[in-house]
Amino acid sequence: MVLNLCISSGPVCLGGTNGTASLPWRLHLLHFYLLAVWWNRNRALMEHVSLSAGDLLSFVSNYLASFHQVNISPVGTASKSIPASWSPPKIGEVKLNFDGALFAPSSEVGLGVIARDAAGACIWWKSVCKQGLYEPEVVDAFAAREAILLALRFGWRRIILEGDSANLLFKLSEPFPDYSILGPIVRDIKLLASGFDQCRFSLVRRSGNRLPIA
């Protein structure tokens, strides 16, 4: 429940390329397969449909292979793969950085979004404060939803949503439904994201994610 809402606005390292890559690859395959089995079980219980074991393994293998091709990096460089500073989007894209903050002991949270173009210029910003007790990741998820709603409002078709919450961004990027406390918000964001020509999710370190928060 949202109370006293106030709004203001303005203009994984998967293994290296050497011989040791096979072990991490198998571990990741097992991890994703177990996750898919859990997802398939919940789908069977709630939607009364499910995939066969063979189809499930094929789906996980194909998904992880595509993910591996995009994200492969040498062993020991995982910490370097997360940018520490903000970088501009490509021409024609809009990058929306989002963040949330808890204001204890006032039981208030703040949501901040800033949209910037390829030149690094701020083209719009928005901050929201509201009362409520939420987990930090839930607050970040609220902020991400504010960001994508802002993009819809202005009709930006090619966007990047960037934040510093690794778990949230992983959930937004993976194909499986999320049954955690973040699930409903994650589903909303994914549904909204499907309406864009491009919607990418980007992780940045906290030092590169400074925002105006009410």
CA distance 44 to 66: 26
Domain residue ranges of the chain, discontinuous segments joined by +? 3-11+82-208, 19-72
CA distance 156 to 93: 8
Q: 149-198 pLDDT, tens per residue?
A: 999 999 999 999 999 999 999 999 988 888 888 999 999 999 999 999 99
Per the listing, tokens 């909303």 go with 188
User: If we measure between CA atoms, which residue out of 160, 166, 29 comes closest to residue 87?
Assistant: 160
Residues of the chain with pLDDT under 70: 1-33, 43, 47, 49, 51, 55-80, 211-214
Q: Sheet containing 158-163: which strands, arranged edge to edge?
A: 3-10, 122-131, 108-116, 94-103, 158-163, 198-203
Per CATH, is 3-11+82-208 categorized as 3.10.20.30? no
